Chain A
Amino acid sequence: MNWLRSIWSELIGLFVDDGKFALSLLIWLIACGVALPRLGLPTFLPPVTLFAGLVVILALSAVRRTGPRP
Chain B
Amino acid sequence: MDIHWAHVAPTLLAAFLASLVEFVEALTVVLAVGAVRGWRGAVGGAGAALLVLAALVLALGPAIARIPQNVVQLGLGALLLLFGMRWLRKAILRSAGVIPLHDEEEAYAKESAALRAFGGMTQGWDKIAVATSFKITMVEGIEVVFIVIAMGGGGHGLLIPAIVGALAALGLVCLLGLALHRPVAMIPENTLKFVVGLLVCSFGTFWVGEGMGIVWPGQDWSLAALNAGYLASALVLVFLCRARAARPVAARRSQA
A: residues with CB less than 8 A from B are 3, 6-7, 10-11, 14-18, 21-22, 25-26, 29, 32-33, 36-37, 43-44, 46-47, 50-51, 54-55, 57-59, 61-63, 65-70
Q: Which of B83, B85, B215 contacts A54 (CB 8 A)?
A: B85
Task: Report whether B135 and A6 are in contact in the complex, using a CB–CB cutoff of 8 Å.
Answer: yes
Chain B residues with Cβ under 8 A from A59's Cβ?
233, 237, 240
Residues of B within 8 A of A (CB): 74, 78-79, 81-83, 85-86, 88-90, 92-93, 96, 98, 131, 134-135, 138-139, 142-143, 146, 201, 205, 208-209, 211-217, 222, 226, 229-230, 233, 237, 240-241, 244-245, 247-249
Among A63, A66, A69, max chain B CB count under 10 A is at A66
- Once the chains bind, are A65 and B89 in contact (CB under 8 Å)? yes
Contacts of A54 in B (CB 8 A): 81, 85, 201, 205
Q: How far is the CA of A66 from the CA of B81 in the complex (A)?
A: 21
Contact yes or no, A63 B217, CB < 8 A:
no
Q: Do residues A47 and B139 form an inter-chain contact, with CB atoms below 8 A?
A: no
Q: Are A15 and B209 in contact (CB-based, < 8 A)?
A: no
Q: Determine the distance from Cα of A10 to Cα of B136 in the docked complex, in whole angstroms.
A: 11
Contact of B245 among A11, A61, A69 (CB under 8 A): A69
**Which residues of chain A are within 8 angstroms of B245 by Cβ–Cβ distance?**
66, 69
Q: Is the CB of A51 within 8 A of B244?
A: no
Distance of A25 from chain B, by nearest CB (Å): 6
Which residues of B lie under 8 Å from residue A67 when comparing CB positions? Answer: 244
CA A7 to CA B146, docked complex, whole Å: 13
**Which among A25, A43, A44, A65 is the interface contact of B85 at CB below 8 angstroms?**
A25
B244 with A66: CB separation less than 8 A: yes
Query: Once bound together, how far apart are the Cα atoms of A29 and B89, in whole Å?
Result: 18
Q: Once bound together, how far apart are the Cα atoms of A59 and B247, in whole Å?
A: 18
Report B-chain residues with C-beta under 8 Å of the C-beta of A58.
85, 88-89, 92, 233, 237
User: Contacting B249 at CB < 8 Å: which of A22, A62, A69?
Assistant: A69
A47 touches B131 (CB 8 A): no
- Give the residue of A6, A44, A50, A57 whose beta carbon is less than 8 angstroms from that of B208: A50
Which single residue of chain B is at the shortest CB-CB distance from A50?
B209
Instruction: Tell me which of B74, B142, B241 contacts A63 (CB under 8 A).
Output: B241
Contact of A51 among B138, B205, B215 (CB under 8 A): B205
In the complex formed, the residue of A with least CB distance to B217 is A44
Q: Are B143 and A14 in contact (CB under 8 A)?
A: yes
**Once the chains are docked, how many angstroms separate the CA of A38 from the CA of B44?**
55
Q: A63-B240, A66-B93 are in contact. Are A16 and B82 (CB under 8 A)?
A: yes
Question: How far, in Å, is B245 (CB) from chain A's closest CB?
Answer: 5
Q: Offer 11 A-B interface pairs, CB within 8 angstroms, sorted by A.
A: A6-B135, A14-B86, A14-B142, A29-B208, A55-B233, A57-B85, A58-B237, A59-B233, A65-B89, A65-B93, A66-B240
